[in-house]
Amino acid sequence: MDFFGVDVGGSGIKGAPVDLVHGALAQERHKVLTPQPSRPGPVAAAVKQVVDHFGWTGPVGITFPGVVTDGIIRTAANVDREWVDLPARELFERTLERPVTVVNDADAAGIAEVAFGAAHGRPGVVLVLTFGTGIGSALFVDGTLVPNTELGHLELDGGDAEKRASSAAREVEDLSWPAWAERVGAYLRHVEMLFSPDLLVIGGGISRKSAKFLPLITGVRAPVVPAALHNNAGIVGAAMACAPH
């Protein structure tokens, strides 16, 4: 049976039905640009546009780039501040007129990678990091998620780590792959010092280009591998979140 996942990001909103037997998209994903400014009403309308594209009528799982507790948004670093303390599940259910589950975006990607991807069957401490508009994180201990870690906001070189080492920072500053890899390496060494992970998984759209930067990263003891589900991990994880457990 298929379920539906929507991945809400700072720049794009993408979704698709997901085959949860194989952990793969059941149809080609549909993407729209995130409204600017990314206020709750327009974003919810954009999510509805993605869902309606497929004529989907069942429950929907939705990721959000911020801390999510019981369907309420607690932080919003790369989207409009109006989201903070907003009951997002209620907003999406009202807009979509169906049951909705809302989960942190990196947690969703991590859940998918643990179930179907690069972290499948890996014991110990696993850290999945998504590089995009910001840096998302999903921390697992023996396959159990520690939710809402938001490690992209750790301090690095006097500021938010994601301001220096995200995929967006590479594009905005027009960094070469070696220059960006140096920043990513500094960030990975920092999180390794804090959490001593047994495995680091690098996700987000940039994971498709891992050969350009992963070999350049030095000084990290734990294995560093690209996400197997690449930028579809959030959609798959969102669909998993709304499936009966």
CATH (domain of 42): 3.30.420.40
> In this structure, is residue 149 part of a structural domain?
yes
3-state SS track over 157-200: CCEEHHHHHCHHHHHHCCCCHHHHHHHHHHHHHHHHHHHCCCEE
CA-based nearest residue to 177, from 167, 162, 191: 167
> And the tokens for 194?
């804090």
Q: Are residues 64 and 131 in the same domain?
A: no
pLDDT value at position 214? Answer: 97
pLDDT value at position 77? Answer: 86
pLDDT value at position 145? Answer: 97
Residue-wise pLDDT tens digits, 46-71 = 999 999 999 999 999 999 999 999 99
Q: Are residues 97 and 129 in the same domain?
A: no
What DSSP state is assigned to residue 35?
P
pLDDT value at position 73? Answer: 98
Domain containing residue 81 = 2-107+233-242
Q: Are residues 28 and 50 in the same domain?
A: yes
pLDDT value at position 162? Answer: 96
pLDDT value at position 167? Answer: 96
pLDDT value at position 157? Answer: 87
Residue stretches of the chain with pLDDT short of 50: none
Q: Three-state DSSP class for 126?
A: strand
Please give the Cα distance from 230 to 103 (Å, whole number). Answer: 18
Asked whether 90 and 83 are in contact (CB, 8 A), the reply is no
Q: Are residues 13 and 84 in the same domain?
A: yes
Q: Are residues 127 and 29 in the same domain?
A: no
Asked whether 168 and 133 are in contact (CB, 8 A), the reply is yes
Asked whether 112 and 233 are in contact (CB, 8 A), the reply is yes
| CB-based contacts of 52, cutoff 8 Å, min separation 6 | none
Q: How many angstroms separate the first and last alpha carbons of the chain?
A: 14
CA-based nearest residue to 210, from 141, 137, 131, 134: 131
pLDDT value at position 209? Answer: 96
Q: How many domains does the chain have?
A: 2
> In this structure, is residue 82 part of a structural domain?
yes
Q: Taking the model in full, what pTM does it have?
A: 0.96
